Structure 1
Amino acid sequence: MTAAQAAQLTRHFQSQVLKIAELLARRLRITALRADVSDIDAWWDQISPAVQKEILTGQSALARMARGYLQQHALLNGVALSPVVVEPSAQQIAEALRVTGPVAFKTQMAISGSEAAATRTMASQLQGAATRLVLQGSRETTMRTFREREEMAGWRRIGGGGKSCAFCSMLIGRGAVYSKESSEFRSHDRCSCAAEPLYRREPEPPEVRRLQEQWREATAGTSGAAAIRAWRLFHDGQNSRP
């Protein structure tokens, strides 16, 4: 029953942090769609302080939420844990938003010459970056706790509900990670995956074993980049079925 409760807690926590991240990201997308394209740099200089503050606040909030989640999750596993809460980097947030904001707008303008297309591209990229940046608060709190606290034996990547992309499915299929040297959580914009703590070595769940078997079948006779290409073809074919 404890394992089921821990899994339920993880799903609930993941649902809550995704809602917050996606809400902030949608708000930023709407702001970007209303950009003053006559002077994109001046527009960005005007709005960016408030945007950066909102993303910074969201990331901090999710880091604090992760602390509570990690403590509860550990207790359900019979472990007392003191999580290590990350401090957001304002500089990192500012740079990521600038690249996906005015820089993305100018890049698309150079390609298409269309202000409308450039605005849509900027809005989309800002939305994706904002989701990733806000979720970094919870993800990095989990990862840093794993690196610095011996109570956590490992972690497992889990999807965010719905269909995971080929990249995320590949990483989920690798199963549990128990090495402290393997504590980087790889993500992309709009990625909804999370890291679930593990406190002992345990068998992989059925969904992971299924992905592992699919990987072996899809990549048989290949390795490296060729294996990844084969996996993407297999994954895309599976998910294109009705």
Structure 2
Amino acid sequence: MGRLDGKVAIITGAAQGMGESHARRFVSEGAKVVLADILEEKGQALADELGNNAKFIKLDVTNQESWENVVAETERAFGLINILVNNVGITTTKSIEEMTLDDYHKVVSLNQISVFLGMKTAVSSMKKAENASIINISSMNGLVGGAIGYTDTKFAVRGMTKSAALEFADQGIRVNSVHPGAIETPMIAQADTKEAVAEFAKSIPNKRIAKPEEVSNLVLFLASDESSYSTGSEFVMDGGLTAQ
């Protein structure tokens, strides 16, 4: 038996990186998974590879109507939603002086507003499903300082998680945040971040960048009934960085 047998999940940003890793693990553990992403070609290719228990649905995480469509299509395809993984996120290395207001709005929309919209639109289905779990991917920079914009939004995700956990505690929905450190994903391989991340890795007590699959192990635990008494909590996996 799989650890997610009979469960239905939506994972945002599932076409690549950590989202892809989570999707692969969830399907292997028996879940039916909607791969929600703006990247149509990659998302559809992954859904085709994963088989009948995976479905790609295009999603603009900053648009409420797009979210409403994904929730409706998920219910039509697989049934009530048990798991929501708010995984989409972007980063930047621009300073406060360099960052334009448009730059800032983009980070806030993708990192923070997307989480609000995901919870807002999925929660009605999740209440009916009962025994549901929302996993919001924050960052170690939701606990300690870092790049402007990115850090602000990741702190916000941490706060939203706690507020939602309290609101839904008696409605059969758990809400937790995951706080990864540096992970090998396309986001940190960008030209403007790759060099900085390589230098940053030297300061990690474990002396390495983590694999996406390592994060998926934790996300799987939070999605499963094994974490039935965990809600409103922060789960950190950063190679020891915030322990210093």
TM-score by length of 2: 0.33
Task: Decide which structure has greater helix share.
Answer: 1
